[in-house]
Amino acid sequence: MGHNKSPGGLAISQKTLYLVTQENCANCPAAKAVVQEALEGSSVQLKTIDLQDMDPDLEFKLLEHQVFIASTPSIILEHNGSVRLLYSGTVPSVDEVRHHLELS
């Protein structure tokens, strides 16, 4: 398995943060605000996903990495082919999210 190369020849280390929400989730808007603020000015991609409407490919990827979403909001980090659950059912602080993403 090769590394993705950018035109400049540097390996791209793309991080994607998934925020899993669902309807009537009391903490989801707060979690979304925290994540958006934490990612401001970074190259990390944010994908907001509705638990009831999850892409089958993503569902399979989560299962493959043994990531189980027990409650929302759930915050999942995908980086260099690894997928891990950072938070489930809680709203982290902006600093905590930045710390996990090595942005602080």
Where residue 81 falls among pLDDT bands split at 50, 70, 90?
confident
3-state SS class at 81: coil
Residue pLDDT, tens place only, 35-47: 999 999 999 999 9
Whether the pLDDT of residue 1 is over 50: the answer is no
Type of residue numbered 61: K
pLDDT at 8: 53
pLDDT at 63: 95
Where residue 103 falls among pLDDT bands split at 50, 70, 90?
confident
- Model pTM score: 0.85
The rounded distance, in Å, linking the Cα atoms of 19 and 88 is 10
Architecture of the domain defined by 15-100: 3-Layer(aba) Sandwich (3.40)
Adjacent-strand bridge partners of 18: 47, 76
